[in-house]
Amino acid sequence: MARLVAVTGCRLGDAGLIDVETDAEELLIIKTRESLLGALTQHVKSNHEYDVPEVISLPITGGNERYLQWIKDSTRDD
């Protein structure tokens, strides 16, 4: 479903609060095909402790063609 998952720590705060509260979280950057986004989103929702986990998609408008082909070759539609 996904080829590579990068995990990084981050501190998130709610900007709508007067006294900003921050929480430590992990940010996952998951690289996959657009055609697999639905299945990946459902997997995250089924396995995440939050009721509404953050899952967003960003378009890739360019990059190292060999790397992009590697991701495509390394993922598959089931």
- In three-state secondary structure terms, 65 is helix
Quote the pLDDT of residue 61.
94
Q: Domain spanning 4-74 has what CATH number?
A: 3.30.70.120
SS3 state at 19: coil
pLDDT at 15 (0 to 100):
60
- pTM of this prediction? 0.70
User: Which pair of tokens denotes residue 12?
Assistant: 């998130």
User: Which ranges constitute the DSSP H helices of 8-55?
Assistant: 37-47
Q: What is the share, in percent, of the chain residues with pLDDT greater than 70?
A: 68
| φ, ψ dihedrals at 16, nearest 5° | -80, -10
Q: Compute the average pLDDT of residues 6-20.
A: 61
Query: Higher-confidence residue: 72 or 10?
Result: 72
